[in-house]
Amino acid sequence: MTTFVDRVTLFASAGKGGDGCVSVKREKFKPLGGPDGGNGGRGGDVILLVDPNVTTLLDFHHSPHRKAVSGRAGYGDRKDGPSGEDIVLKVPNGTVVMDADGTQIADLVGNGTIFVAAQGGRGGLGNLALSSAKRRAPGFALLGEPGEDRTLILELKSVADIALVGYPSAGKSSLIAAISAARPKIADYPFTTLVPNLGVVQAGETRFTVADVPGLIPGASQGKGLGLEFLRHVERCVALVHVLDCGTRETDRDPVHDLEIIEHELSEYGGLDDRPRIIALNKIDLPDGEAMADMVAQSLRDRGYEVYPVSADLQSSLTQWHD
């Protein structure tokens, strides 16, 4: 079974605060020394941090329970207990945080963005801090507060300027590999890609990011295949590139029909009408591919699309180059 990993549940337990200490100063010949019990240490927080090197939420899928360290109890001789250490969990850029009901509480965009998923408990006051003019030597201290325990849903909505959409095996991952330094998995079976690949493209002075949106098939908007899970990655992009397979051997498919199917899924998902579309007619290194691209390019341009015939497969196009 395929496991979809860019939506995970995180059980975050912050550290408990340490208890305050009850202690009385002991000095020779002074049986009634003052109180000197220190405070308990603060419990550690569970913190989410956007890290550019993290691209999936896979780690949380494997270990969803994360716990920070508790604060230590205070000591005598006016010493406070040490605080518990925070744990910092690295998450991908574009991680959306929701509570257990699915209500969004944070949207973590931008490297270095921080979110406290669960706050550590405060340490309890020791009897030194509790002493006052009226109560010079309290015989008690306060307990540390419990740390927050939260169940959160994390969902990744990729942050990319351009989203590549298209049928499985149309060549989206290949195109990312061809135009950026990203090295995604490429294979001639569908659903190779289960999380979007992100690539950074440098074109002259312009730098932009591209995401490969996998899993779009007819009926995706009704939940077929991996359904709409993937379409949320398109939400943040400024433009869409349709990667259309001009070399498919499947008889019930052609680039124009594929385009209509994908557009239908996009419109069912909604909210994407305002994004400009560009078309890449892919696999023109194949003889049939080139013929097909020639055949459909003009009619797509007539519909108002910007159309580019391409070959995303470096190996194939290089071979052709040398022929």
Ligand X SMILES: Nc1nc2c(ncn2[C@@H]2O[C@H](COP(=O)(O)OP(=O)(O)O)[C@@H](O)[C@H]2O)c(=O)[nH]1
Footprint of Mg ion on this chain (CB under 5 A)?
173, 192-193
Q: How many CB atoms are closer than 10 A to CB 232? A: 19
Does residue 311 belong to the site contacting ligand X (CB under 6 A)? yes
Report how far residue 236's alpha carbon sits from residue 244's, in angstroms, rounded to the nearest whole number. Answer: 22
Listed residue (89, 221, 96, 228) closest to 157, CA to CA: 96
Report how far residue 172's alpha carbon sits from residue 234's, in angstroms, rounded to the nearest whole number. Answer: 14
Does residue 302 belong to the site contacting ligand X (CB under 6 A)? no
Exposure on the CB side of residue 117, measured as CA atoms within 13 A: 37
Contact stretch for ligand X (CB under 6 A) within 47-55, 58-66, 133-141, 167-175:
167-175
CB nearer ligand X, residue 113 or residue 316: 316
User: Which residue in the set 285, 293, 296, 300 belongs to the binding site for ligand X (CB under 6 A)?
Assistant: 285
90: Cβ contacts below 8 Å, ≥ 6 apart: 49, 50, 51, 53, 54
Work out the angle at residue 59's Cα, subtended by the Cα atoms of residues 53 and 64, and round it to the nearest 5 degrees.
140
CB nearer Mg ion, residue 153 or residue 310: 310
Q: Which of residues 199-258 bind ligand X (CB under 6 A)?
A: 212, 247
CB of 160 to ligand X, least distance (A): 15
Does residue 282 belong to the site contacting ligand X (CB under 6 A)? yes
CB of 284 to ligand X, least distance (A): 7
CB of 56 to ligand X, least distance (A): 16
CB of 313 to ligand X, least distance (A): 3
User: Measured in whole angstroms, how far is the alpha carbon of residue 269 from the centre of its chain?
Assistant: 20
**Strand, helix or coil at 322?**
helix
Binding residues for ligand X (CB under 6 A): 166, 168-174, 186-188, 192-193, 212, 247, 282-283, 285-286, 311-313, 316
